[in-house]
Structure 1
Amino acid sequence: MTIEILDRTGLIEQPQLRVRTSVAPAGDILGRIGTLETRLARSNSEIDAAQAVRYRVFVEEMKAKPTPDAARRKRDIDAWDVVCDHLLVLDTAIEGDAEEQIVGTYRILRQDVARRTGGFYSASEFEIESLLDRHPGKSFMELGRSCVLPDYRTKRTVELLWQGNWAYALKHGVDAMFGCGSFPGNIPEVHALALSFLHHTVAVSGEWQVSARPELFRTMDLMPAEAINTRKALSALPPLIKGYMRLGAMVGEGAVVDHAFKTTDVLIVLPINNISGRYLNYYGADATRFAS
């Protein structure tokens, strides 16, 4: 499963943030491959370092538009950072402290936390509440703000990120994951082939139905199914979205243009029961494949 992690959820903004006091304890390594390891952030300084990595990728590389304060601080920050858990990949071969070793990150928000702290960020683009209401007995978690530094966009890094996500989901009894996947640019029609392929082949249905907010809805049905070349469509998909598909994910109805990040977003929905047996066997049903 070689996929490049380059995604995010949300807008760059700088609210008045309170100090985060709940971080992971030492000794919580979720997995190791060679010199790379994955775990949750243990301190506010590590979260700050993860925000710096996000800034380098989203703003300096992808040319997202930061607020003046975010540009001054060179940090990608929003109000959800103080309530989310931050999954990190670190290269322990790099000399220095842990903050200097962070090469990749994923932001995780559990439903029980979101319920207490203002909801999920994806709800600003997609009708998440209707999805949650249909599953009152299930536990959801949102994945977002994922990125990896260019030199580390390798199979090993991706495997560790998924190892961390899977171990985290098991620990917290999560039944389904969701989050935004992004296409570059704010003109959906440029991605007509890929968006139409997703619409016709992996669209959510039934109890998992979820749509873009009506005022933001952009159609993904831009080409008839019979006109789609599957091979070319797969090649046109961003690596992250393709990786989610391989795991067994579905895609919500309608896309949303994020003008701040200059992306076209789709909602990825991945019920745990949908995860391909191939990947469950690879990582281990109890997430032991790369466990330390």
Structure 2
Amino acid sequence: MAVLLDKGRYRARLAQTEQDVAAAQTLRMLTFATDGQDCDAFDERCAHVLVEDLQAGGALVCCFRMLTMQGGFEIGLSYSAQFYDLSALRDFTGPMVEMGRFCIHPDYNDPDILRVAWGAMTAYVDQKGIEMLFGCSSFAGTETAEYLDAFAMLKHRHLAPRRWLPRVKAPDVFRFAARLRRRPDVKQAMLRMPPLLRTYLMMGGWVSDHAVVDRHMNTLHVFTGLEIGAIPPARKRLLRAVAG
């Protein structure tokens, strides 16, 4: 068993069998409310991380998948490249990991689950020498109205550096950086910000200037990048303390 992290009642490990991957797909189906099992061709190419509740007989409470790349020249093979023009990232020279399909069981709201998941990701990043973490961060539903403060905050504080900025590719997008003129209500913005995206941003992550309207998954998502070398030292120490 490839255990990445054991913390309290939770254990994070890499999937080892087809049954492990099927369990992750089932949790994704439950979380994303898709019709039928949630699976695609990327599952075969990815490593899958499972977070299990040891006090509940090893019940699966969180999962995500990781696609490792040797550098930006492989960015076109990512899941995100279906929705975003990522040609600017072809010049990134270090190893990269795309994190996707992150979900937590809807019956669980323990913040330690997210901490353990990030601790496991930190352990993996350190083991593989990864220099950039990226993926699509999702807001529930496809209506923008309730998230305007969150999008305004992304525009004012967290847009990607120009050299890495993704361009529009999907047919249905919300160009929040161009359209929004409001100043964000910080409290409302943080209330509406998805927990995974909030964690990315706390570590110095950045986002695309538009959100993709994904009606198949019933989400709005923004491309999110995190350069490992740019994580503030205090945050790195905290993550590695969890990972250790």
Give the TM-score taking structure 2 as reference length.
0.90
Q: Taking structure 1 as reference, are residues 159 and 214 closer, same or farther at Cα in structure 2, changes over 3 Å only?
A: closer
Aligned to 1:105: 63
Structure-2 separation of matches of 1:53 and 1:115: 32
Q: Give 1:163 deviation, angstroms.
A: 0.9
Identity of aligned residues (%): 27
Corresponding residue number in structure 2 for 1:185: 141
Q: Do 2:73 and 2:90's aligned partners in 1 also have CA atoms closer than 8 Å?
A: no
Superposed CA RMSD = 2.3
Aligned to 1:94: 56
SS of residue in 2 equivalent to 1:152 = coil
What letter is aligned with 1:89?
A: V
Q: How does 1:54-65 map to 2 (within 5 A)?
A: 54-59=28-33, 64=34
- C-alpha separation in 1, matches of 2:46 and 2:148: 34
1:1-292 maps to which residues of 2 (within 5 A)? 26=1, 28-59=2-33, 64=34, 66=35, 71=36, 75-95=37-57, 101-112=59-70, 119-128=77-86, 130-135=87-92, 137-213=93-169, 215-221=171-177, 222-225=179-182, 227-284=183-240, 289-291=242-244
Question: What displacement does 1:151 show?
Answer: 3.4
Q: Which amino acid aligns with 1:125?
A: F
| Number of corresponding residues | 243
C-alpha displacement at 1:131, in angstroms?
3.2
- C-alpha separation in 2, matches of 1:113 and 1:270: 14
Unmatched segments (≥5 aa) in structure 2: none
Instruction: Tell me if the contact between 1:182 and 1:264 (Cα under 8 Å) persists in the aligned partners.
Output: yes
The answer to which structure, 1 or 2, has the higher relative contact order (CA under 8 A, 6+ apart) is: 1
Quick one: distance in 2 between partners of 1:118 and 1:175? 17
Q: Is the 8 A contact 2:115 2:242 kept in 1?
A: no
Residues of 1 paired with 2:194 and 2:83: CA distance?
19
Bigger Rg over Cα: 1
Deviations 1:206-250 (CA, angstroms, capped at 9, x unpaired): 32222331644421134325x332233222222222121111110
